[in-house]
A and B are shown apart, each in its own frame.
Chain A
Amino acid sequence: MKIVTAGTGMAAAEFVEQLRLGGFDGEIVMVGDEDYPPYSPCVIPFYLAGEPLDTVFWKGKDFYEKYRVTARLGEPVVQVDPDRHMIRTADGKTEDYDRLFFATGSNSWYPRPEWLGTEGVFGFKTLSDMVAIDRYIKEEQATAAVVFGGGFIGVDAALSLQARGLRVSLVHRNTRLLSQMTDEDGGQFATSRLAKKTGMDIRLRTKVEEIIQADGRLSAVRLTDGQEIATPLLILAVGVTPNSAPLRGDDKGICSNEQMLADPCIYTAGDVAITRHAVDGAPSVYANYPNAMRQARVAARHLLHGDGSYSGSINTTVLRKHIDFPVISAGSFNGEPVTWQQGDVWRRVYLVDGMINGYITIGDTRLSGYLYQHYVDRTRVDGTIRKIISSPRHDGQYREMLGFAAA
């Protein structure tokens, strides 16, 4: 049997590793547009911040040799023909398969794609982006940057560039940073603390409207509120879309069943896959690393043994990069809120039917594992949760376990 993966990302690498560890001896071909061994997108901003490139290859730089993979790199998969069991790359090459693992991930979404034609304007998604930004900063000796987009990737970009020593302006259209992973109050809290701790120039409720060039290079950006910021470097981190077009013709993501099958011979996983949420059952793309790993393992197990099923995705997120100020959240932010704050630490749990429906914890990682486990396990916590999160020494769970009321 011949296995082909469309994509060389984390899901595809995990899938291939599981197949080989599980004794699969057949031919494996991995096809991807970037000329690198599988790397960790979570880690690549650290390369930009000045750490060695080798640390991004999280399963080893010798991945393809180690797992006896034929790597066809440099061209993206642009078309899948499920009837003829064949994929086609951008330069017209084809590859046939017995089973396809479709894990092409997501692409940056650009408000004005033509901006990328100007030197100094970059996306912030792939290792190729990081390498290009790194080279540009070195060549131009850039000391300032504007990041457009204050979601997870935008804040990640801003913090990495600041860690490298650049002055960073962060432009975000919403009322607060990290607007998808926080509610209004939590987002405001996180934004104000991040602004104070980093000293970053944060512009809210505005967008980059126009870029200003000089000699074909970026020299400034103009915002919708009329202000201009002089900068040689603009990072666009406004959003991402699933790269599902090669298989279904649009960017709405790939639906799959509990075995991660999108078609009898096509598995899917990772940031392109639509799965059910483990708690509320809502189908969507739940793009995070633990989900991608579990999906890839389900697919590999099904291929090897014909059994196993996916138990659903969890939308947990944590942002803690270059700064000791974690922002953690999961679930959905509706229900009865229970909130606690002390200094730089803020926690909120949303309760529905006495169970955790969502939570946000900012400024400290402690208690987040407790909330996570009880959220996933669907335990009733309404009798205790207020005391547990109202915990000045962050030991509420142990206090409760020993039968003490919170001090």
Chain B
Amino acid sequence: MKRIFVDYKKCLACKACETACAVRHHPSGTLIGALGDRKTEIDVRVLSIEHESFPLACRHCDPADCLSACPSGALGRDAETGAVLIDPTRCKACAMCAMVCTFDAISFKATHRSPFGREVAHKCDLCLLRTKDGGIPACVEACHSGALVYAEYDATRSKRATKSLRTYLLGEEGVPPLVELYRELRRKEFARRRGSEE
């Protein structure tokens, strides 16, 4: 089973993932359609904290607390991919799922998929319509810096575990030189802003 992995040190906060997600989930499928539409659904958000930034979305946990908390039958797991999905026709936006989500990955909004014109819960659906046909999620496709990777869950997890041990022992970061330079500039810029505030 494949999942979206985040390498936050490579994130440049360009928000291409947010844009691609909005376009992908908009009925028009176009940027022009999604722009300025209050029903546009964005299921990933780039969190910027000082000079660091990273995209945040549903991790499709297993077991998933949200799934066991939903009292309306709206949350379910896709048998083939293991993705946790929301059925907007059943969702009542009661927030039982959001209440237990550690990642704050579930938001509420009247989207184009809301059947009754009111808010529903929305979150990442792993772009199932694309991925089931062999494609990759829109956010991953849009990510230019390699911060988002769509890969096999188990293999990537173990590879990353050894990689972080190597980073710990040898100080290797594995971040491309240009990205490292960008991070350095961002760090300095944020330090400069903090300095001028004081």
Contacts and interface: CB of A to CB of B under 8 A. Distances in A.
A42 B92 contact: yes
Interface string B45-83: 001011010001000000001001101110000000000
Contact of A328 (B49, B72, B93, B99): B99
Contacts of B93: 320
B108 interface: yes
B104 A366 contact: yes
B111 to A, nearest CB: 14
A50 B117 CA distance: 12
B94 A402 contact: no
A294 B68 CA distance: 8
B17 interface: no
A289 interface: yes
A318 B99 contact: yes
B100 interface: yes
A340 interface: no
B71 A368 contact: no
A316 B100 contact: yes
Contact of A58 (B73, B96, B119): B73
Contacts of A368: 98-100
B186 to A, nearest CB: 13
A46 B119 CA distance: 13
B147 to A, nearest CB: 15
B168 interface: no
A321 B116 CA distance: 14
A320 B49 contact: no
B72 A40 contact: yes
A370 to B, nearest CB: 6
A404 B100 contact: no
Contact of A404 (B49, B99, B106): B49
A402 B65 CA distance: 25
B149 interface: no
Contacts of A318: 94-96, 98-99
Given A55-B72, A58-B72, A395-B49, A46 B92 contact: yes
Interface in A373-407: 373, 394-395, 398-399, 402, 404
Contacts of A366: 104
A320 B94 contact: yes
B102 interface: yes
A43 B101 contact: no
Given A58-B90, A404-B50, A316 B99 contact: yes
Nearest to B101: A369
A297 to B, nearest CB: 9
* Most B-side CB within 10 Å, residue of A293, A328, A365, A370: A365
Interface residues of B, number: 30
B102 A321 contact: no
Contacts of B68: 290, 293-294
Given A51-B116, A58-B73, A290-B69, A395 B47 contact: yes
Interface string A311-351: 00000101011101010100000000000000000000000
A42 B71 contact: yes
Contact of B96 (A289, A324, A370, A399): A289
A266 B88 CA distance: 37
A402 B52 contact: yes
Nearest to B74: A58
Given A289-B71, A399-B49, A402-B49, A43 B100 contact: no
B89 interface: yes
A372 interface: yes
B99 A372 contact: yes
B148 to A, nearest CB: 17
A207 B128 CA distance: 53
A318 B47 CA distance: 26
A373 B68 CA distance: 14
B89 to A, nearest CB: 7
Contacts of A395: 47, 49
* Most A-side CB within 10 Å, residue of B92, B106, B119: B92
B72 A43 contact: yes
Interface in A29-68: 40-43, 46, 50-51, 55, 58-59
A200 interface: no
A324 B89 CA distance: 18
Interface of B: 47, 49-50, 52, 56, 65, 68-69, 71-73, 89-90, 92-96, 98-104, 106, 108, 116, 118-119
23 contacts: A10-B71, A40-B72, A42-B96, A43-B92, A51-B116, A55-B90, A58-B73, A316-B100, A318-B99, A320-B93, A320-B94, A324-B108, A324-B119, A365-B95, A369-B98, A369-B101, A370-B104, A372-B99, A372-B100, A372-B102, A373-B100, A395-B47, A404-B49
Interface of A: 10, 40-43, 46, 50-51, 55, 58-59, 289-290, 293-294, 316, 318, 320-322, 324, 326, 328, 365-370, 372-373, 394-395, 398-399, 402, 404
Top 9 A-B pairs ranked by shortest CB distance?
A58-B73, A42-B71, A365-B98, A320-B95, A289-B71, A369-B101, A369-B102, A318-B99, A366-B104
Given A10-B71, A43-B92, A328-B95, 5 more contacts: A58-B72, A289-B71, A316-B100, A326-B99, A365-B99
